Amino acid sequence: MKDKKRIVIALGGNALGNTLPEQMAAVKTTAKAIVDLIEEGCEVVVVHGNGPQVGMINNAMAALSRENPEQPNTPLSVCVAMSQAYIGYDLQNALREELYNRNIKNMPVSTMITQVRVDKDDSAFSNPSKPIGHFMTKEEADHAEKNYDYVMKEDSGRGYRRVVASPKPAEIIEIDAIRSLMESGQLVIACGGGGIPVTREGNHLRGASAVIDKDFASELLAEQLDADFLIILTAVEKVAINFGKPEEKWLDDLDCGTAKNYIDQGQFAPGSMLPKVQAAVTFAESKPGRTALITLLEKAKKGILGETGTRIHQ
DSSP tag of 18: S
Candidate list 12, 14, 49, 133, residue with the active-site label: 14
Using CA atoms, how far residue 244 sits from 151, 162, 248, 250, 274, in Å, is 33, 30, 6, 11, 15
Angle between helices 256-264 and 273-286 (to 10 degrees): 150
Q: Is 55 a catalytic residue?
A: no
Quote the CA–CA distance of 216 and 260 in Å, as a whole number. 16
Q: Which residues pair with 291 in a beta bridge?
A: 229
Q: Is 12 a catalytic residue?
A: no
Candidate list 5, 13, 18, 28, residue with the active-site label: 13
Whether the CB-CB separation of 40 and 183 falls below 8 Å is answered with no
Max Cα-Cα span within the chain: 62
Whether the CB-CB separation of 172 and 191 falls below 8 Å is answered with yes
Candidate list 32, 49, 133, 276, residue with the active-site label: 276
Q: Is 130 a catalytic residue?
A: yes
DSSP tag of 167: P
Closest C-alpha among 126, 135, 272 to residue 210? 126
Quote the CA–CA distance of 226 and 175 in Å, as a whole number. 12
Candidate list 130, 168, 260, 302, residue with the active-site label: 130
Whether the CB-CB separation of 6 and 42 falls below 8 Å is answered with yes
Residues, the chain:
314
- Distinct helix (H) and strand (E) counts, the chain: 9, 17
Whether the CB-CB separation of 7 and 43 falls below 8 Å is answered with yes
Candidate list 32, 55, 214, 299, residue with the active-site label: 214
Q: What positions carry a catalytic annotation?
A: 13-14, 130, 214, 276
